[in-house]
Amino acid sequence: MDVSGVWPFPLSLRSKLAAAGYSTLASLQNVSPSALARDIQVSQGEALRILKTLRGIDDAPTCSSTSSSLLSSAKTAWDLLCIEKTRKRISTSCAELDSLLGGGICLQEVTEICGAPGIGKTQFGMQLAINVQIPKEADGIGGSAVYIDTEGSFMVERALQMAQACVARLCSVDGLSFNSEDSFNVDTFLSKIYYFRICDSTEQIAIVNQLEKFLEEHKEVKLVVIDSVTFHFRHGFEDMALRTRLLSSMGQKLMRLSELFEVAVVLVNQVTTKFTGGISKLVPALGESWSHACTNRLILYWENNQRHAYMFKSPSLPSVSAPFSVTQEGICGVDYSKRPRRL
Amino acid sequence: MASRLLSGMQLDAPLFHVLHARGVLTAKDVLCKPELELMELLDLPLSLIREAIAQISLFTCPPYRSALTVMEERESELGFGHLRTHLQDIDSALLGGIPFGALTEVVGPAGFGKTQLCLMLCVITALPKEHDGLDGNVIYFDTERKFHSGRMAEMAVSRFPHFFTDGDNLKKLATSVLVYHPHSLDEFVNSLQGVEEVIIENKVKMLIVDSIAALMPSENAQEDLSRKQNVLGHQAGTLKYLAEAFRIPIVVTNQVRMTSNQRSLEDPELQLTAALGTSWAHSVNIRLILESLSGQRFIKVAKSPMSAITLHPYKVTSMGLELIGGEDYGQGGDVMRIRFDDLDANEDEDMEV
């Protein structure tokens, strides 16, 4: 059926279209602007205008509309910069570490923390689980935390100490008033840490699969800690290629969740000894391909009997290192004036 | 656990039959395979596979508890979920003692008192609750054949003279320790599989492995190394599971080795490191190092999720290990390295029993 007679175009254009065989809406449906411009010899801008006008008449979905859902979601670099500036971060309680991290552990990103045994990786995870709950009035996020413990190292009495210190710190800040005492105490802090104890690699895969549903039901969760992602994957896998595939699929799922639910995902990784040219050195475990699973990688190490953190990988931040301490109150900056009580 | 069968997971009957026919029987069979591989194996559309994975994940994933609930559980346990070691400074450093549900490792050179400490813990576990004990039995895997009942009894009498006044209580103590002598690694691994039954039937409140390193074949070839890491990791996983499932403390001892770099010849201080490598060091929740500095022996809390790195001087007496006053903050650092510089002192007083 020739409907070109009712199209809102000048006669010259209509005849050009007809001459090129474009006389029905259907015939124009799968034509790209550049092809149309060539066929009827108009500029590409003109061709696009024609197609857009016709799309307005015809409400039926065209093939380009499926791809345009992605294209229309584009953000300019300026938009991204503005979002970046308002991005929320979880403070680590240590000023040096926070500046190393550009203000704290970023929501919507996957951050990996690795380091030698006993360096304080678990302390880091526990501290973040407390700090994510600092209310908005105190420049915090006011969220809650999911703590996935694969190693059995989460000690509730230690979390209690950190929560007590955090409450004390917040109460000492002037100009902050909390409307009711009971909404803000140590017990609430602990009740907002959702603790999963994972006993093997299958359970670990299951919890990551399940996490989407859990986060949907608990929108207030702003932090997911997996301590550690490594333990159950360091044994029981004869097929290393399979292990790599399972791990990278897990990494992809976590990255998707972090963006979808605006949560910070913190993965604790172990280190392994690698022999290169007869020299042994400690490198993050789980191999090369796993290094792509995280956006940021923070390495913790000892130097001159002082704990340090090194920004090993980050898309936006420089690779520098910063000292930190672990005290009874939790993670904090190094106090050189008095000998800190190290943990 | 992973071996959970799919039959109880309310899967659609047709789907379940397909899975069953292809020999996919447990949660592990499904979850530890990439989606695409499953699709190929089962010849089903991806959407259906994803649904099945979601359903199986739901059933496999353990339930969550809030940290507050966990704390309330601890409060209902003896000593907030800790076994007092009766070494006061160590107890306060570990917020009450050796925690239940975790893997605690004691590492140190021969003759420093690792076995002594284990025997001491046996005595304490067997004590009735009113004496801060656990009133339970002990499983003791003695791989080095160092367990000595007489020494344990001596320790019990000199440490708790008011309780162990007559033979009855001593006999009760001696019957509460179940000693096993695994001859090989495989034997040990196999016995760990069946140990749950023993724990339940015998009211076991503590599991000791003295030592875990003795079971391991000596480290040489690279191939051996990866197999060893695999076995070790598996053991650590099993031990941690037992600790958590039965809420008992698990203590293992570990040996020391000379470091592989031969620089120690020039170095006046001998370089000793904990055996079994970094991966194992990651696996233990708590590491206590027995070491010596200028002739004085120290217990060092080297790795612990709840305490500072502290040094506590100690000596071995008839009562077992005894702390001798004072504590010092450790120099931080390496959980692998063991300081050992009292070779002379060692000749004067031999602590081996």
Comparing CB atoms, the residue among A116, A235, A343 nearest residue B335 is A116
Q: Residue B259: what pLDDT?
A: 67
Q: Nearest Cα to B144, choosing from B218, B232, B214? A: B214
- Verify whether the Cβ–Cβ distance A210 to B57 is below 8 Å: yes
Collapse the DSSP code of B98 into the 3-class scheme (helix H, G, I; strand E, B; otherwise coil) and give the result. strand
- Verify whether the Cβ–Cβ distance A272 to B333 is below 8 Å: no
Q: Nearest Cα to B283, choosing from B348, B335, B346? A: B335
Residue B330: pLDDT band by 50, 70, 90 thresholds?
A: low
pLDDT tens readout for residues B18-49 = 888 988 888 888 998 888 888 888 888 888 89
| Rounded distance between C-alpha atoms, residue B242 and residue B208, angstroms | 12
Mean pLDDT, rounded, for B87-110:
92
For residue A297, pLDDT over 80 is answered with yes
A62 vs B323: which has the higher pLDDT: B323
Chain A: residue whose CA lies nearest to B93 = A343
| Rounded distance between C-alpha atoms, residue B299 and residue B290, angstroms | 5
* Shortest alpha-carbon distance between residue A147 and chain B (Å): 9
- Verify whether the Cβ–Cβ distance A118 to B287 is below 8 Å: yes
Q: Which amino acid is at B189?
A: V
Residue A191: pLDDT band by 50, 70, 90 thresholds?
A: very high
Partners of A328 on chain B (C-beta within 8 Å) are 308
For residue A85, pLDDT over 80 is answered with no
State the DSSP string of B193-238. Answer: HHHHHHHHHTTEEEEEEE-SGGGSPPP-SHHHHHHHHHHHHHHHHH
Mean pLDDT, rounded, for A131-148:
91
Residue B156: pLDDT band by 50, 70, 90 thresholds?
A: very high
Partners of B56 on chain A (C-beta within 8 Å) are 206
| Rounded distance between C-alpha atoms, residue A265 and residue A213, angstroms | 16
Mean pLDDT, rounded, for B107-124:
93
Beta-bridged to residue A148, according to DSSP, are A196, A226
Residue B196: pLDDT band by 50, 70, 90 thresholds?
A: very high
* Shortest alpha-carbon distance between residue A88 and chain B (Å): 24
* Shortest alpha-carbon distance between residue A270 and chain B (Å): 7
For residue A190, pLDDT over 90 is answered with yes
Residue B227 neighbours by CB distance under 10 Å? 11
In this structure, are residues B61 and A210 in contact, taking their beta carbons and an 8 Å threshold?
yes
In this structure, are residues B25 and B17 in contact, taking their beta carbons and an 8 Å threshold?
no
**Averaging pLDDT over each range in A10-24, A290-304, A326-340, B320-334, which range is the top one?**
A290-304
Partners of B64 on chain A (C-beta within 8 Å) are 146, 194-196, 214
For residue B78, pLDDT over 90 is answered with no
Partners of A335 on chain B (C-beta within 8 Å) are none
Q: Residue B352: what pLDDT?
A: 39
Q: Which CA distances in Å does A12 have to A6, A9, A17, A38, B264?
A: 14, 8, 9, 16, 94
Which of A112-116, A335-339, B88-92, B162-166 is least confident? Answer: A335-339
For residue A179, pLDDT over 90 is answered with no
Comparing CB atoms, the residue among B33, B56, B71 nearest residue A160 is B71
Q: Residue B222: what pLDDT?
A: 58
Comparing CB atoms, the residue among A161, A209, A246 nearest residue B34 is A246
Tell me the angle at which helices B167-175 and B114-126 cross, rounded to the nearest 10 degrees.
Answer: 110
Contacts of B261 (CB under 8 A, 6+ apart): B271
Query: Where do the CATH 1.10.150 domains begin and end in chain A?
Result: 9-71
Mean pLDDT, rounded, for A209-219:
94
| Rounded distance between C-alpha atoms, residue B29 and residue B32, angstroms | 6
Beta-bridged to residue B139, according to DSSP, are B178, B207
- Verify whether the Cβ–Cβ distance A190 to B68 is below 8 Å: yes
For residue A1, pLDDT over 80 is answered with no
Q: Which CA distances in Å does B153 have to B168, B292, B308?
A: 12, 27, 33
For residue A167, pLDDT over 60 is answered with yes
Mean pLDDT, rounded, for B266-293:
82
Q: Residue B277: what pLDDT?
A: 85
- Verify whether the Cβ–Cβ distance B32 to A242 is below 8 Å: yes
- Verify whether the Cβ–Cβ distance B230 to A190 is below 8 Å: no
Which of A248-257, B80-89, B215-224 is least confident? Answer: B215-224
CATH topology of domain A9-71: DNA polymerase; domain 1 (1.10.150)
- Verify whether the Cβ–Cβ distance B278 to A158 is below 8 Å: no
Q: What is the mean pLDDT of chain B?
A: 85
Residue B278: pLDDT band by 50, 70, 90 thresholds?
A: confident
For residue B271, pLDDT over 90 is answered with no
Q: What is the ipTM of this complex?
A: 0.87
Residue carrying the six token digits 């019957």? B175
For residue A67, pLDDT over 60 is answered with no
| Rounded distance between C-alpha atoms, residue B38 and residue B56, angstroms | 14
Residue B305 neighbours by CB distance under 10 Å? 25
Comparing CB atoms, the residue among B70, B241, B281 nearest residue A199 is B241
- Verify whether the Cβ–Cβ distance B237 to A245 is below 8 Å: no
A337 vs B158: which has the higher pLDDT: B158
Partners of B80 on chain A (C-beta within 8 Å) are 157
Percent of chain A with pLDDT over 70: 88
Query: Where do the CATH 3.40.50.300 domains begin and end in chain A?
Result: 79-332
CB pairs under 8 A between A and B: 200
Mean pLDDT, rounded, for A133-140:
87
Q: Residue B283: what pLDDT?
A: 92
Q: Residue B166: what pLDDT?
A: 80
Q: Residue A59: what pLDDT?
A: 54
Chain A: residue whose CA lies nearest to B66 = A194
- Verify whether the Cβ–Cβ distance B62 to A157 is below 8 Å: no
- Verify whether the Cβ–Cβ distance B334 to A306 is below 8 Å: no
Q: Residue A298: what pLDDT?
A: 93
Mean pLDDT, rounded, for A106-131:
93
Q: Which of B29, B46, B57, B263 to mutate to test the interface with A (most CBs of A within 10 A)?
A: B57
Partners of B229 on chain A (C-beta within 8 Å) are 234-235
For residue B98, pLDDT over 80 is answered with yes
- Verify whether the Cβ–Cβ distance B70 to A206 is below 8 Å: no
Q: Residue B265: what pLDDT?
A: 47
Q: What is the mean pLDDT of chain A?
A: 85
For residue B93, pLDDT over 80 is answered with yes
For residue B296, pLDDT over 80 is answered with yes
User: Structural domain boundaries of chain B?
Assistant: 6-60, 70-348
Residue B264: pLDDT band by 50, 70, 90 thresholds?
A: very low
- Verify whether the Cβ–Cβ distance A209 to B53 is below 8 Å: yes
- Verify whether the Cβ–Cβ distance B237 to A228 is below 8 Å: no
Q: Residue A278: what pLDDT?
A: 63
Q: Residue A174: what pLDDT?
A: 58
Mean pLDDT, rounded, for B134-140:
93
Residue A46: pLDDT band by 50, 70, 90 thresholds?
A: confident
Query: E-assigned strands of B92-219?
Result: 98-99, 103-107, 137-142, 177-180, 204-210
| Rounded distance between C-alpha atoms, residue A121 and residue A118, angstroms | 8
What is the CATH number that goes with domain A79-332?
Answer: 3.40.50.300
Mean pLDDT, rounded, for B324-348:
65
For residue B246, pLDDT over 80 is answered with yes
- Verify whether the Cβ–Cβ distance A234 to B102 is below 8 Å: no
For residue A168, pLDDT over 60 is answered with yes
Percent of chain B with pLDDT over 70: 88
For residue B353, pLDDT over 60 is answered with no
Comparing CB atoms, the residue among A155, A201, A282 nearest residue B305 is A155
pLDDT tens readout for residues A236-280 = 888 888 999 999 999 999 999 999 999 999 999 998 887 776 666
* Shortest alpha-carbon distance between residue B35 and chain A (Å): 9
- Verify whether the Cβ–Cβ distance A235 to B233 is below 8 Å: yes
Structural domain B70-348, CATH architecture? 3-Layer(aba) Sandwich (3.40)
Beta-bridged to residue B315, according to DSSP, are B322
Q: Residue A293: what pLDDT?
A: 84
Which of A112-121, A140-149, B329-338 is least confident? Answer: B329-338
Q: Residue A342: what pLDDT?
A: 45
Q: Which of B1, B247, B279, B304 to mutate to test the interface with A (most CBs of A within 10 A)?
A: B279
- Verify whether the Cβ–Cβ distance A157 to B281 is below 8 Å: no
